[in-house]
Amino acid sequence: MSTPSFGFRVTSVDGQARSGVLTTRKGEVLTPTFMPVGTQASVKTLTPAEVAATGAQIVLGNTYHLWLRPGPEVVAGQGGLSAFMRWPHTVLTDSGGFQAFSLAERRTISDDGFVFRSHLDGSKRQLTPEEAMRVQSLLGSDIAMQLDVCPPGTAERKDVEAAVLQTTRWAKRTLAARDPLQAVFGIIQGGVHIDLRRRHAAELGELPFDGLALGGFSVGEPPEQMHAALPEVVPYLDPVRPRYLMGVGTPRDLLIAVLAGVDMFDCVLPTRNARNGQAITRRGPLSIKQAQYREDRRPIDEDCGCPCCQIGYSRSYLRHLFIAREILVLRLLTQHNLWVYGDLLRRVREAIASRKLGVFAREWLEPG
């Protein structure tokens, strides 16, 4: 935990929840924070300036996809991901472990790592902990993730135990191969088994990672199981280091996780759902393609401060654009959804600072 230019400090505490400041070589990130997903060096449909305008201070890039296309050497030759995509703020890259889970039919696993068949051309690729570190170093992200084994939510306990053991072995190899200028986070596995999660948190907590992440949630298990597990697991993560819940989720998921002590989040949900015509609101999702909005003059949410709602684009107009397959609606809905996430966590930070998070969370989760 001695990476130059990387640091984390807690500024306020309310119960298990905390707000803080994450420092990287690109500047400061206020936590709790949400990271929009820029899978292929782009948050789909938006410019970097538009992403930043939603309140985002950090984005996530996908190691697997950038490894295949355009290749990490191309990105390195243009100054790293931040310069390549013109995002001057902090960048975190995942390790490719989740793609091993999601593309299971294309890969095999051994003690050494994963062997993939590229989804682009079928070529054979081997992803080891060392290769994951090499690729992320070339991508030049500020925060890199270790290669891990992510079992599905329905996996048997013996398979989850094997994933934990393999992830620990790979954690040590990851640290031996790390770029000394790059912060590196370890990934805690264990499924919904509290004892496995706590044990793995202790094991990785003894290693010199800059932060600790919870992987293997929201991978097929009922959301209620994750919600029940988080308060039993998160407090066992080292409080000095940032805590990152990977691939989660809905606004409700975020609030429950913050109450348990999580600092960082990423998820494709707000951007992917936007491209499928769904706007996220405090009162729940709104599917703009429904016929009931054909003549609806209201904005998505009259209380929302995003450009889409403030300009006053009507639900009727947005529905028309979506039915007509106009690209503008995808941009507007993406801006709206990311603004909702950014504004939610801004309000969460304020509520923690004033020690009113419990009241705020109840009002949000049960809006009346």
Give the catalytic positions in this structure. Answer: 94, 266
**Contact indicator for 163, 150 with CB cutoff of 8 Å:** yes
Question: What's the gap between Cα 348 and its chain centre?
Answer: 17
Token pair listed for 65: 């996809």
**Contact indicator for 190, 216 with CB cutoff of 8 Å:** yes
Residues 6+ apart with CB under 8 A from 148: 95, 97, 163, 167, 170, 171, 187, 189, 215
What whole-number distance in Å separates Cα of residue 145 and Cα of residue 143?
A: 7
Token pair listed for 13: 């505490």
Angle between helices 357-365 and 251-260 (to 10 degrees): 160
Pick from 109, 102, 134, 106: nearest CA to 122:
106
Residue 338 phi/psi, 5-degree rounding, is -70, -35
Residues 6+ apart with CB under 8 A from 274: 45, 330, 333, 334, 336, 337
Token pair listed for 272: 């992917």
What whole-number distance in Å separates Cα of residue 245 and Cα of residue 250?
A: 12
The residue count for the chain? 368
Q: Give the DSSP letter of residue 276.
A: T
Helix locations, the chain, DSSP H: 48-53, 63-68, 72-77, 81-85, 97-102, 129-139, 157-176, 194-205, 223-233, 251-260, 269-275, 307-311, 315-323, 327-353, 357-365
